[in-house]
Chains A and B, each alone.
Chain A
Amino acid sequence: GAGVSQSPSNKVTEKGKDVELRCDPISGHTALYWYRQSLGQGLEFLIYFQGNSAPDKSGLPSDRFSAERTGGSVSTLTIQRTQQEDSAVYLCASSLKGQGTEAFFGQGTRLTVV
């Protein structure tokens, strides 16, 4: 597709369950970002992939969170043993390699932990 695609758009899960969120970046974009946004709040950086370099995981809030990017394209964010405080919108963005390039965002996955 033309833009960044995220799935599912909405996810309701029970506390303690694992969830997987998927991001399909724009074709050819080597940089991929995951952010978390709580209602009406700013962006909380989670993880950043750039090409074949080791990902920057400095924003992951706990070891329950992990992310992979297979083949330099699709990325999956996994949250294990979900907690209610994990409820938020999870945003994915991608950009070209150049430092001056803007990031393009997906519509996000709204996660609700009940």
Chain B
Amino acid sequence: AQSVAQPEDQVNVAEGNPLTVKCTYSVSGNPYLFWYVQYPNRGLQFLLKYITGDNLVKGSYGFEAEFNKSQTSFHLKKPSALVSDSALYFCAVRDRNAGNNRKLIWGLGTSLAVNP
């Protein structure tokens, strides 16, 4: 079955330190991969996506993510965390071999807390 795992419910980092939010996936075919962020009392916002090409994808607000096919992972990273990065982060995947089924499969989310 297709699934997305975000193994950490919460990640705590100090401001200025690098951050990583982990995501692994399981799909039958090749994936399209997405990261979204949800700030408190706000809707979800798209951060970045992997479609094809370079495994390192750069997105909004200085975030980046690396697609690792052998490890079936798509971890979100930022070199220097800001307090304003504190939010709920969601990883999502779509199987590009799923034909007309374009439904996204979502992880349960990881709460990131950046401490001053």
- Using CB atoms and an 8 Å cutoff, list the residues of chain A in contact with chain B: 31, 33, 40-43, 45, 48, 50, 53, 56, 91, 93, 95, 97, 99-100, 102-108
Residues of B within 8 A of A93 (CB): 44
A43 to B107, CA, bound (A): 8
Q: Are A53 and B100 in contact (CB under 8 A)?
A: yes
Could you say which residues of chain B place their CB within 8 Å of the CB of A106?
43
Candidates A48, A91, A102; contact of B34 at CB < 8 Å: A102
Residues of A contacting B100 in the complex (Cβ-Cβ under 8 angstroms) = 50, 53
* Chain A residues within 8 Å of B96, by CB: 99-100
Tell which of A56, A105, A106 has the most Cβ of chain B within 10 Å: A105
| Docked CA distance A43–B43 (Å) | 12
CB-based contact B46/A104 at 8 Å: yes
B: number of interface residues (CB 8 Å): 25
Binding site for A on B (CB under 8 A): 32, 34, 36, 42-46, 49, 51, 88, 90, 94, 96, 98, 100-104, 106-109, 111
For A96, the closest partner residue in chain B by CB is B102
Residues of A near B42 (CB, < 8 A) are: 107
- A102-B46 contact in complex given A31-B102, A42-B107, A53-B100, C-beta closer than 8 Å: yes
Contacts A102-B46, A104-B46, A106-B43: A42 and B109 contacting too (C-beta < 8 A)?
yes
Enumerate chain B residues within 8 angstroms of A103, measured Cβ to Cβ: 34, 46, 104
Which interface residue of A91, A93, A102 has the most chain B CB atoms within 10 A?
A: A102
Cβ A99 vs Cβ B32 within 8 A: yes
